[in-house]
Every structure is written in C-alpha cells, then in structure tokens.
Amino acid sequence: MAAVDSFYLLFHEIAQSCNIYMETLALVGAWYTAKKSMSLLCECYTMMRLYFIPRLVSKTDLSKQYGKWAIITGGTDGIGKAYAEELASRGVNIILISRNRVKLENVTQAIKETYQVEAVFIVADFSKGREIYLPIQKALSDTEIGILVNNVGVFYDYPEYFTEIPEEKLWDIINVNITAASMMVHMVLPGMVSRKKGAIINISSASCCKPTPQVAAYSASKAYLDHFSRALQYEYAPKGIFVQSLTPFFIATNKTKYYGFLESNRWMAPSPETYAYHAVSTLGISARTTGYWFHSIQFLLARCMPEWLWVWVAQSVNTSLRRKALSRISLISSGKQLKH
C-alpha cells in the first residue's frame, strides 16, 4: 500500500512539474502563432497595396517623380517592350537599347505614335563586352535619365545540365546578365544622384531565391542582380534614388516558347503586358518584389521552403520542362524535314 501511495505521490509531483512546462510551451506556441498570423496579415496587406489598390487610381505621371527619360535595355520584345509601353503610357520619354536595328525602329515608331511621347533608340549588342559602353555613354551624355530598366538578359533555351551548355552561351549569360546591368547603373547613377531623384529597376528572377538545378548559371547571375539591387537601395535611398529588384517567376515570352503549359495557364505565367502593368505600379513602393500578385504568393511559399524541398521541386519541374521542350523541338524539326 505504501508503494502505491509513493507512486501516486511521485506521479502527482511529476504532473505538477509537467504542467508548468506545458503552460510555458503553450505561451511560446501562442506567441509563435500570433507572430506568424501577423506576418501573414502583413503579407496580404502588402499584396493589396502593391497589386490591387494602384488599379483603383489613375496612372501617375512618372516623369515628374523620377525624370523625363527612361532607358530600357532589351526593349524590343517581351518584358522590355511591355515595360517601355507602360512607362510611355505614364508620360515618360523612352530610350530603347538593343541589338536589332529593324525591331528598334519599329518599336520606337509605334511608341511615338501610340503614346505621344518622345522615343529614340541606340543599337548595341551587350554580348560584345566592354567596347560597347563608351558609345552608349556618349549618346546619353546630355539626357536627363530618370528611370533605368535593366531588362536585357540571356536565358537557357530550356533547362539544361551545366556541362551541356555551349561555351558561347555561358559567356553570354555572364557577360549580359551581370556586366550589362552593372555598367548601365554605373553610367546613369551619378546623374540621378546629382538631381537627387531617379529609379533603377533590375529584372532578376525568382530562381535567385535558392540554388536552382538545371539553370545553375542563369539563377546565379540573377542572384547577383538581386543582391546588387538590394545593396544599392541601402546605399542610395538616402540620396533620393529608388532601386528595385524584380524577381518574377514564369512570364509568357519568347524565352519560354517551348513550355507548352504556360500558354494555357496565364494566371500563373502572365503576358508581358499584364506583368508590366502590375510591376510598374510597384515602383516607389516595394524595393524587392516579384511584380505580379500570383508570383508573390509563389515567392512567399518558396522562402518558407527548406532548401532540399525547393531543389526537389525545381529538379522535377525543370526535368519536365526540358523533356517537353526537347519533344517540341523534335516535332518542329520533323515537320520541317517533311516539308522539304
């Protein structure tokens, strides 16, 4: 009987001790839940402020806020062209820089006629290295650059293992994705600082979030742009300059023409025009954003993922995209051969 009493006494003491720990753990759990709930509410508010509230008000004249002229590199197709058109619709004069003169002439003329702003172009191939930047600098020497959009970039034709990338493509990825943005910022930033206003938009990629297999060099180059942009924002925000890192997921452009599923999932992969409309609305509000509401949801989930899960998802998606791209390329090649 004494042994039974001793057991119940011991159990009672242990239970009391556990209750103290349970209460402490309950408080910690409640604090953690409240913190995460507040964080989620803040994320929801940020999305509303970035992507939905601006749609309720008329477009602002960005030329008064940042400056009269905007430079868009790689501005003849896709995001670059859409960005140029969106900025022109907000009263900004446009300077397009790309390597295809015919496309530059056509897009420049269309912007002039459609939006009644000034538009000019500079022919430059950013893959040619250092020699191209002096002529660009001379052409821009007397121009008040208010906005710089570093859009020009080189992407894989489809996800690929690193050793299978042609050496020329690898050089282009590094030379265009990293060097072009750095040199263009170095060129126009002093003028912005002297005027105490200006905006720089570097178009990175959501693949900068974590290491991304089968687009290793591309994602690494975009990670550079993301870190570069964020560091510049810390350096130059006190001087009146707004530096933005855009980190979109898939957008339905020529770069993704082999990814068939994007054509039927435009809510996941918006058109360049839709993306530019949303992204420009975030200018001056968020220094780091995907630029599009659904991409922001994806990016939030990606940040919460452990790296192993991100890598597994990326491997699965990129392997599937690679297979589909190769299949479509094979079908196109077969069709051409049959025609001949």
Instruction: Write out the catalytic residue numbers.
Output: 218
Instruction: At 337, give phi and psi (nearest 5°).
Output: -65, -40
Distance CA 98, CA 157 (A): 19
Please, is 119 exposed, middle or buried when counting C-beta atoms within 10 Å of its C-beta (0-12, 13-18, 19+)?
buried
Please say whether the beta carbons of 88 and 119 come within 8 A. Answer: yes
Question: Is residue 285 exposed (0-12), middle (13-18) or buried (19+ Cβ within 10 Å)?
Answer: middle
User: b vs e for 52-75, b when ≥16 Cβ sit within 10 Å of the residue's Cβ?
Assistant: eebeeeeeeebbebbbbbbbbbbb
Distance CA 141, CA 88 (A): 21
Identify the CA nearest to 149 among candidates 80, 249, 228, 46. Answer: 80
Map 99-147 to HEC letters: CCHHHHHHHHHHHHHHHCCCEEEEECCHHHCHHHHHHHHHHHCCCCEEE
Q: Is the dihedral of CA 48, 276, 204, 95 positive or negative?
A: negative
